[in-house]
């Protein structure tokens, strides 16, 4: 029987990606940035598409449908109408947008044909719609047969927030909030104001929040946003600039919070910490209100989440604790990249009428989100031999024993195994790992590996069966999208700091808070990844060996990259990152490389200026 292949594409805004499914099952998905090595690359995902066709191993002409995640004409409509409404002052916004739209967006079909040689059997592109793509990306791979679906992001076409209902293979959009009212853009306004990069620095703001006090919550509610009991909201556009100036915030916003935005890479002060804490509280309250409303509307006990706001794992953790829904599933590539996957599903189920697989409310269809390229041992060996890099080829169990021993001795490991992850998190396919019991590990990893601010905590990866031993969580969190407190039993008493400046985070960071200091945040929380043998045996077996040697079934897991660099994809990317940082051991599948054995590294590329801070 012939299979039905659908290629989904998201592009032109930020973090473009491609995905391919066969008869409703995911074959591959990847972000363009991983191949182009340009963080959040918004360009047409030529390399990601090529990879998807490689994984499916089909000709472009064998694709049944090519689907784009957005509807460029609706986006164009929004831009035009908003500019008309905003008047003459919006000319720069209009000018830039129209060039972009006329140059590329409306010619998606031509671009596809030029890139892969065919628009597939349909001979034309299907446009799935931005929020429908988001909704589909979270509902169809979820383990549920019905669900309330929330999609929360900056903006897509006109919508910024949507509530939908999934039932069987159908999704029905129920309610939406439209641009310019946007929870995502509200959060981004604070991201920008606190000196981080919009569309990528939001998770830093979230990491900063626990250091602050939510002292600005009243100002936010009094001036910036009006929220109703059902979670619907309106922004006061006098405080924002994105309608008419192209900037996120306005002078009035700056006046309200007492001055100009913080300059990137300047010192973070109490004000930024308190602002981060405040917008985090407001976001959580709104998300919870919307979720309650969605539950009432749909009557479902299951929730599916997507859109950039769904990457706010602190809010997700709070939502879980509220018990509004019995089950929650969050698309790990919740941002626009995941729209490529959602677009595939829209075509499969709503265009072709495919039958959704029956879920068991537990096991999803995302395959652990290991949907990217894998490299064979032959490829790795050929790469190492060609470059004459010294390595040790080991048996699988011997490799795990060696890596566990090295971590126990305080070494940092670059771990490269199996398929690359789809989505912004490293989940043990392309990860930097270390011993979380080591008190100096957070500082070492931040300053000598990631070259970034040291306030940001690292995430723990823990054997699924042991999660409750360390954390107040007893559910699966395979995608590192839930935050939960560390157990009281492993916490350490923290003495109040005498004489420290209120602006200085360093003494606070350096306090030991638990038996696992490197992953315990200032508020005793942790962003947890549960590791499952069914989806990542290589990572699971390594953690099991670490537990066997040390009694600890947790490792630090951070993305395999330096600051501002996309996560590594290939053995070459991994080797470059290994040599540019203080990673001690590189494990490329069963090939181990030790730093002290490597030849002098002549790095011609000035990567520290190439990769900008988020």
Partner 1 sequence: MNRQLFEYHPTIGYKFIKSLKTRVAHEAGGYLLRTNNWGFRCENDFQIGKIPGKKRILFFGDSFTAGDGVSNKFRYTDVLETMLPDTEIYNFGLSGSGTDQQFLMYQEYGKDIECDVIVLSVLVENIRRIKSHYRYYYNDKNEKVIYAKPYYDFKDGAFQLFNTPVPSQPLTMEELPKEEQEKVDTGGRFGFARSVVNALGLKEITQKITKYQPVPEYNESNTPEWQVMREIIKQWKGMAQAKLIVIPLPLYQFVEETSDASNYQSRFAELTTELDIPVIDPLPEMRKYTMDERRNFRHKTDVHPTAEGHKAMAEAIYPELSKILEQ
345 near 140, Cβ under 8 Å?
yes
Binding residue for partner 1, selected from 53, 287, 432, 555, defined by CB under 8 A: 53
Candidate list 12, 193, 383, 455; residue touching partner 1; CB under 8 A: 383
Shortest distance in whole angstroms from residue 110 CB to partner 1: 13
Minimal distance, residue 247 CB to partner 1, in Å:
35
| 378 binding partner 1? (CB under 8 A) | yes
Is the Cβ–Cβ distance between 516 and 486 less than 8 Å?
Answer: yes
**According to CB under 8 A, which residues from 207 to 246 bind partner 1?**
none
Helix (H) or strand (E) holding 127: strand 125-127
* CB contact set of 99 (below 8 Å; sequence gap of 6+): none
**CA 386 centroid distance within chain:** 34
Could you say which residues in the range 57-96 bind partner 1, by CB under 8 A? Answer: 57-60
Question: Exposed, middle or buried by CB within 10 Å (0-12, 13-18, 19+), for 145?
Answer: middle
116 binds partner 1 (CB under 8 A): yes
Binding region for partner 1 (CB under 8 A) out of 89-97, 109-117, 529-537, 550-558: 109-117
Give the full edge-to-edge strand order of the sheet including 146-156. 170-178, 159-167, 146-156, 302-306, 327-330
Span near partner 1 by CB under 8 A; candidates 45-53, 426-434, 527-535, 578-586: 45-53
Among 251, 382, 447, 502, binds partner 1 (CB under 8 A): 382
**At its nearest, how many Å lie between partner 1 and the CB of residue 115?**
7
Binding residues among 387-446 for partner 1 as defined by CB under 8 A: 388
CB of 551 to partner 1, least distance (A): 40
Question: Nearer to partner 1 by C-beta: 139 or 578?
Answer: 578
**DSSP string computed for 157-208:** TTEEEEEEEEETTEEEEEEEEETT--HHHHHHHHHHHTT--TTTSHHHHHHH
Segments of 266-409 assigned E as strands? 302-306, 327-330, 392-393
Candidate list 100, 115, 361, 511; residue touching partner 1; CB under 8 A: 115
Binding residues for partner 1, total number by CB under 8 A:
30
Give the Cα separation of 186 and 180 in Å (integer). 10
Q: Which of residues 568-587 bind partner 1 (CB under 8 A)?
A: 569-570, 572
Closest CA to 247 of 256, 257, 260, 258: 260
Candidates 161-169, 176-184, 467-475, 565-573; binding stretch for partner 1 (CB under 8 A) = 565-573
Using CB under 8 A, which of 180, 214, 264, 373 touches partner 1?
373
Q: Are 16 and 337 in contact (CB under 8 A)?
A: yes
Task: Please check whether residue 5 is in contact with residue 58, taking contact to mean a CB–CB distance below 8 angstroms.
Answer: yes
Distance CA 12, CA 366 (A): 25
Pick from 5, 12, 13, 35 the residue near partner 1 by CB under 8 A: 35
Give me the least distance between CB of 344 and partner 1, in Å please.
18
**Binding residues for partner 1, per CB under 8 A?**
34-35, 46-47, 50-51, 53-54, 57-60, 115-118, 373, 375-376, 378-379, 381-383, 385-386, 388, 569-570, 572
């Amino acid at each position: 029987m012939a299979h039905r292949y659908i290629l989904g594409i998201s592009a032109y805004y930020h973090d473009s990606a491609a995905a391919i499914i066969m008869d409703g099952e995911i074959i591959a998905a990847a972000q363009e940035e991983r191949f182009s090595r340009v963080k959040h690359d918004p360009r047409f995902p030529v390399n990601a598409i090529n990879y998807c066709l490689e994984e499916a191993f089909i000709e472009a002409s064998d694709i049944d449908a090519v689907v784009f995640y957005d509807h460029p004409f609706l986006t164009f409509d929004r831009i035009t109408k908003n500019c008309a409404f905003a008047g003459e002052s919006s000319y720069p916004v209009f000018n830039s947008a129209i060039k972009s739209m006329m140059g590329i967006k409306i010619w998606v079909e031509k671009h596809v044909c030029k890139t892969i040689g065919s628009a597939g059997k349909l001979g034309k592109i299907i446009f799935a719609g931005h929020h429908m793509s988001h909704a589909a990306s979270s509902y169809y791979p979820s383990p549920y047969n019905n669900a309330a679906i929330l999609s929360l992001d900056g903006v897509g076409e006109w919508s910024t927030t949507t509530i939908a209902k999934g039932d069987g293979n159908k999704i029905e959009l129920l309610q939406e909030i439209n641009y310019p009212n946007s929870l995502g853009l509200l959060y981004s306004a604070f991201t920008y104001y606190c000196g981080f990069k919009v569309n990528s620095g939001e998770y830093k703001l979230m990491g900063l929040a626990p250091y602050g006090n939510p002292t600005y919550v009243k100002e936010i509610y009094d001036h910036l946003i009006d929220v109703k009991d059902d979670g619907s909201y309106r922004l006061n556009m006098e405080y924002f600039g994105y309608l008419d100036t192209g900037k996120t915030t306005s002078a009035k916003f700056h006046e309200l919070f007492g001055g100009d935005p913080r300059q990137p890479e300047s010192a973070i002060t109490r004000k930024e910490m308190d602002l981060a804490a405040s917008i985090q509280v407001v976001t959580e309250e709104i998300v919870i209100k919307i979720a309650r409303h969605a539950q009432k509307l749909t009557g479902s006990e299951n929730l599916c989440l997507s859109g950039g706001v769904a990457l706010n794992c602190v809010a997700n953790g709070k939502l879980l604790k509220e018990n509004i829904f019995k089950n929650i599933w969050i698309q790990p590539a919740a941002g626009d990249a995941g729209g490529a996957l959602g677009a595939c599903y829209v075509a499969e189920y709503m265009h072709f009428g495919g039958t959704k697989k029956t879920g068991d409310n537990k096991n999803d269809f995302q395959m652990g989100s290991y949907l990217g390229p894998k490299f064979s041992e032959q490829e790795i060996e050929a790469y190492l031999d060609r470059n004459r890099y010294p390595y040790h080829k080991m048996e699988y169990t011997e490799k795990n024993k060696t890596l566990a021993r090295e971590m126990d001795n305080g070494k940092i490991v670059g771990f490269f195994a199996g398929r690359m992850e789809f989505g912004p998190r490293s989940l043990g396919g392309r990860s930097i790992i270390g011993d979380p019991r080591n008190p100096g590990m957070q500082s070492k990893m931040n300053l000598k590996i990631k070259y970034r601010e040291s306030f940001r905590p690292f995430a723990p990866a823990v054997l699924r069966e042991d999660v409750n031993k360390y954390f107040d969580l007893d559910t699966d969190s395979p995608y590192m999208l839930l935050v939960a407190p560390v157990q009281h039993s492993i916490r350490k008493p923290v003495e109040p700091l005498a004489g420290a400046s209120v602006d200085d985070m360093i003494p606070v960071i350096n306090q030991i808070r638990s038996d696992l200091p490197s992953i315990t945040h200032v508020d005793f929380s942790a962003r947890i990844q549960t590791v499952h043998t069914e989806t990542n045996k290589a990572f699971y077996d390594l953690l099991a060996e670490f537990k066997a040697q040390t009694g600890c079934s947790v490792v630090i897991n951070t993305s395999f990259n330096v600051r501002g660099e996309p996560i590594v994809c290939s053995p070459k990317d991994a080797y470059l990152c290994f040599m540019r940082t203080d990673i001690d051991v590189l494990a490329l599948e069963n090939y181990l490389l030790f730093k002290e054995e490597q030849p002098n590294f002549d790095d011609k590329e000035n990567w520290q200026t190439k990769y900008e801070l988020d």
